[in-house]
Structure 1
Amino acid sequence: MTDADLDPVELEILRNQLESVAEEMGQVLIRGAYSPNIKERRDCSTALFDAAGRLVAQAEHIPVHLGAMPEAVAAVLERDPEPGDTFVVNDPFAGGTHLPDVTLVSPLAPPEADGGAGEEIVGYAVSRAHHADVGGMTPGSMPAGAREIYQEGLRLPPVRLVAGGEVNEDVRDLLLANVRTPDERRADLRAQMAANDRAEERLGDLLADHGDRLLAAFDAVIAYSRERVESELADLPDGEYAATDFLEGDGVSDDDVPVEATVEIDGASLTVDFSGTAEQVPGNLNAPLAVAKSAVYFVVRCLTDPEIPPNHGCYAPVSVSAPEGSLLNPTPPAAVVGGNVETSQRVTDVVVRALAEAVPDRVPAEGQGTMNNLIIGSRHGDFTYYETIGGGFGARPTKDGMDGVQVGMTNTLNTPVEALETEYPLRVERYALRPDSGGAGRHRGGLGLERSMTVETDATVSLLTERRRHAPKGLDGGASGALGENRIDGERVGAKTTVEVETGTTVTVLTPGGGGYGDPSERTDDSRESDRVDGSVTDGE
């Protein structure tokens, strides 16, 4: 069987069927999960890989999850997986990203793969979900001042959670004994296992319908995506482009931490070198190389045709390197929990800004550049709340930026006020767009958000945020977006903070606005999209 045996129509049908399997996995996970972080915010991702560990199809979930998933599958392949197994892993130095992101990898061997017993592994189902607590020194497992990974939670190399179709209760009990909310974790793990089981069931159905033609489609769709991405890269101007930006301290020191990218476009390939980036830091903004790769892959996806099927072929023409022992390729026992959520955002920003030299008409101004991580929890294990809060999207060459959205490496929803107040001892005081927070320009940056809530019990509050000192920059003469702010009972606190608070404390997060695009004096009625709460549009008033 060869790829050429599949005509374009059949290939498109099979591709969509494979993607539907990944999407259905996600639906099973979201509907079966217990924690609001997964069932409401949808901080999870699902995907299908082939037997060689290549990404074949994914659901449209979280960019920082999906781009780093191949490392988890590669780590599992080294453990000689067998049909009926499911591996659990969260170790950032063995296939994970940061400890709260717990990944399940299941070999897929449906009976139809070999005509009977189901002994041939034809692929892997992967589900990754952010668990609201995995132990460590603070509730939520995202301590602002962590200096080593042991302080961030339970570290799991690839280990069999399910062996031969039976749950390994010793492994499960060990995991649950080291978290603050074991009942919630048990239910969320069960939902992930159900998602992976659904993948095997659906892949078996497809094999029954298509036989070996389905397996041929694995190779064909990967080859197709690679050809499409290589064609798009070849259209970009060859050259070397560079940019530098900074992280605002690492949770231990307030000193700026440089992130430098050199992007080389050479024909149909793109190489990103982070040699100028800082060495690994004492705090938790270190990011595994898989996270840096994921951010680069995201930028490439943004600059190429969004209709190209997302799979291994999209990333094959892209190379990413960072020196060992650096911020983007740290060595154990580096703390990394902030690297996944904040450093990944800055990597995205610097790669986009570097490519703005090459294709200024195809990239936006900087968005908020942070996930605005807010964690509130009880040391007694009563609850753990985790949220990433949207902000301003950067203005684009042809239109304004979007208001109050997730930007860059995250793609979650918010936790609805009703769900938040029902599930946690929290009361939302204000949730609104920030007037005048978008940068001025021919096209204006999107608005940031204000989210303010009162904690109705004694708790620990952790904040991991950025763009509190360096504002999101505009492009082509556009102004910067507004800086973000963190406040506790009205008093401003640092970008990275963990504090104990008493009942009645109010926590407020003001998220950054997006940068503007173009000279503000060139703004005309034609460049205005709709009425805006910042008063920047007067049509119809």
Structure 2
Amino acid sequence: MSREEDGNAVDPVTLEILRNRLEGIAEEMGEVLIRGAYSPNIKERQDCSTALFDSEGRMVAQAEHIPVHLGAMPRAVEAVMAKGPEPGDVWALNDPFEGGTHLPDVTLVSPIAPDVAGRPESGGEIVGYAVSRAHHADVGGATPGSMPAGAREIYEEGLRIPGVRLVRDGDLVDDVFALLLANVRTPDERRADVRAQLAAHERAEDRLGDLLARSGDVVRDAFDAVIEYSRDRIEAELDSIPDGVYTARDVLEGDGTGPDRDVAIEVTVTVDGATLNVDFAGTEEQVPGNVNAPLSVAESAVYFVVRCLTDPEIPPNQGCYDPVSVSAPEGSLLNPTSPAAVVGGNVETSQRVTDVVFAALAEAVPDRAPAQGQGTMNNLIVGSREGGFTYYETIGGGAGATPTTDGIDGVQVGMTNTLNTPVEVLEAEYPLYVERYALRPGTGGDGARRGGLGLERVLTVERDATVSLLTERRRHRPSGVAGGGPGALGENLVDGEPVPAKTTVDVEAGTTVTVRTPGGGGHGDPADRDPDAREADRRDGKAETETEE
């Protein structure tokens, strides 16, 4: 029986007001977390996400933060709910095999059971869950930054948290917190960042309590209503995509443990009315290195593509995901079994999943799908084995052109949505000096619409340190579509000498590290480009695309 039939429907005006209030709570959580954090990775780059879930574990509202975080959050909430959380708890987890993505992403989940003024019966009843996920710049493991390029098992990647009470009855569990801090290289920074997450959860409980006090039980009705509203709208969008079976294939450039053999990802997308089935059968088995990705990461990538190819104004919540199913064979690259290494899967494999799903659906809706963007997060980690500092950054590059617009220059694409670390902050916080930070002329693919330009970032490391790089598109260029040209390759250099796409190396003070990021693919026949735009390309250094060696 629908809400309309049982008489409990939320009228459209009230629904819109409450939807915005709920999304506002999720956004305010994010602001509290970002402003309260200590590490530049969270307070400057905003590598974190926040969301609200209902008492059934369904996402109701999310802040528009990191795509790879948000689509995977429901599995974290499911894992915590199975442990019997109680009001006053906050649970911490990062285990990729129990609702996490990769170990640096520490997720907090807390039941919300506000005492509503004037309603004594309300206390102690769980009405929802607050969730935050933040990338912590070090969680232990074999190398500073917890992202070793050659990892072969998850134990090398850091402290594994399977889901533990960090707060009980409103009080911090000191023994658990001490255990976590004892296993990281930068405990003061981690302590401050975790406390910022806890503050965000307190704000969520306060704000939802205020909303319940003002609006009463209609808020709970709104949980169902906003999910149903998004589901109805996404189903209408999916129904407009031609029914059919669409396939695509792409590759990762090795797993960091040996010769850089290509690792295949294959997808079959079946559109049937208002449903979408995405099957990764044919994708390679899990690999020795760390580019394996939990199924939740693959789900995040699929949800992101669906959001991009449908109406972006649809409120993002569980309703958007209900018509979409995702599967991958157990033991495969996209559904590995423990103790597989996975830290690169979250950041790099997720990008390639995005590429292949876009490519498959481009057959169905060519007027909506973009050319390939840079297809990598260009992860750069520099840190001291003795502790003291860990710098982590994902570096932007070229976005793929669309049928109607040029690709954007020097931006994060796909599954990340972070900012950069400002040069002034980077040099003040770390023993690093920025020699160069600039766009790479000529790196966008040619076309009726040009691909975006990549970036070049050159750092001098001023202390002995360990450098890790997890990157892609150093051998296979981002593809153009509909006759558009490919974007340029990326490149990694240490003291001017090329190094592999995935590498960890100890360096001495004075070493220079250069990351050149890929450009985006072009869209459409270059002959169709507007003459005025082509003249602007020449003037702005975009006219000539670098060739692959």
Compute the TM-score of the two structures, normalised by the length of structure 2. Answer: 0.96
CA 1:190–1:282: 2 relative to 1, 3 Å: same
Instruction: Provide the identity percentage.
Output: 75
Residue of 161, 166, 186 corresponding to 1:181: 186
Q: Which runs of 5 or more structure 1 residues have no equivalent in the other structure? A: none
User: Take 1:403 and 1:525, find their aligned partners in 2: how far apart are those partners?
Assistant: 20
Contact in 1 for aligned 2:95/2:101 (Cα 8 Å): yes
Residue 526 of structure 1: CA displacement? 6.3
List structure 1 segments (4+ residues) > 4 angstroms apart after TM superposition.
1-4, 526-532
Q: Is the 8 A contact 1:22 1:57 kept in 2?
A: yes
Q: How is 1:85-164 mapped onto 2 (pairs within 5 angstroms)?
A: 85-112=89-116, 115-116=119-120, 118-164=123-169
Paired residues, number: 537
- 1:357-368 paired onto structure 2 within 5 Å: 357-368=363-374
Partner of 1:489: 495
- Secondary structure of 2:116's aligned partner: helix
Task: Determine the C-alpha separation between the residues in 2 that align with 1:288 and 1:301.
Answer: 21
TM (norm. structure 1) is 0.98
Measure the CA separation in 2 of the matches of 1:524 and 1:289: 43
Q: What is residue 277 of structure 2 aligned with on the other side?
A: 271
Matching of residues 130-529 of structure 1 within 5 Å:
130-253=135-258, 254-525=260-531
Contact 1:109 1:200 in 2 (8 A): yes
Unmatched tracts of structure 2, length 5 or more = 545-549
Partner of 2:547: none
Aligned equivalents of 2:18 and 2:519: distance in 1?
42
Name the aligned partner's letter for residue 541 of structure 2. D
* Contact residue 113 and residue 211 of structure 1 kept, 8 A: no
Q: Secondary structure at the match of 1:112?
A: coil
Contact 1:376 / 1:386 at 8 angstroms: preserved in 2? yes
Structure 1 counterpart SS, 2:388: coil
Partner of 2:13: 9
Is 1:27 matched with 2:31? yes
Q: Secondary structure at the match of 2:466?
A: strand
Encode CA deviations 1:183-222: one digit per residue, 9 max, x unaligned.
0000000000000110000000000000000110000000
Within 1, Cα distance between the matches of 2:9 and 2:412? 42
Aligned counterpart in structure 1 of residue 543 of structure 2, from 512, 530, 536: 536
1:112–1:207: 8 Å Cα contact kept in structure 2? Answer: yes
- Distance, in Å, in 1 between the alignment partners of 2:338 and 2:29 is 33
The residue type paired with residue 73 of structure 2 is M
| Amino acid across the alignment from 1:228 | R
**Contact 1:400/1:528 (<8 A) preserved:** no
Preserved CA contact (<8 Å) 1:373 1:463: yes
* Contact 2:9/2:225, CA 8 A, preserved across alignment: no
Q: Cα distance, 1:399 vs. partner?
A: 1.5
Distance in 2 between residues matched to 1:100 and 1:535, nearest whole Å: 37
Across the aligned residues of Structure 1 and Structure 2, the Cα RMSD in angstroms comes to 1.4
CA-to-aligned-CA distance 1:319-354 (integer Å, 9 cap, x gap): 000000000000000000000000000000000000
Cα offset for 1:118?
Answer: 1.8
Supply the distance in 1 between the matched residues of 2:473 and 2:9 (Cα, whole angstroms).
52
Please tell me the residue identity of whatever aligns with 2:71: G
SS across alignment from 2:330: coil
Deviation of residue 523 (structure 1)? Answer: 1.1
Deviation (angstroms), 1:35: 0.2
- Relative to structure 1, the CA distance from residue 334 to residue 130 in structure 2 (aligned partners, 3 Å threshold; closer, same or farther) is same
CA distance in 1, matches of 2:118, 2:398: 51
Tell me if the contact between 1:43 and 1:62 (Cα under 8 Å) persists in the aligned partners: yes
For the pair 1:71 / 2:78, whether they are aligned, the reply is no
- Given that 1:89 and 1:156 are in contact with CA atoms closer than 8 Å, whether structure 2 keeps it comes out as yes
Which stretch of structure 1 is more off in the superposition, 105-114 or 410-419? Answer: 105-114
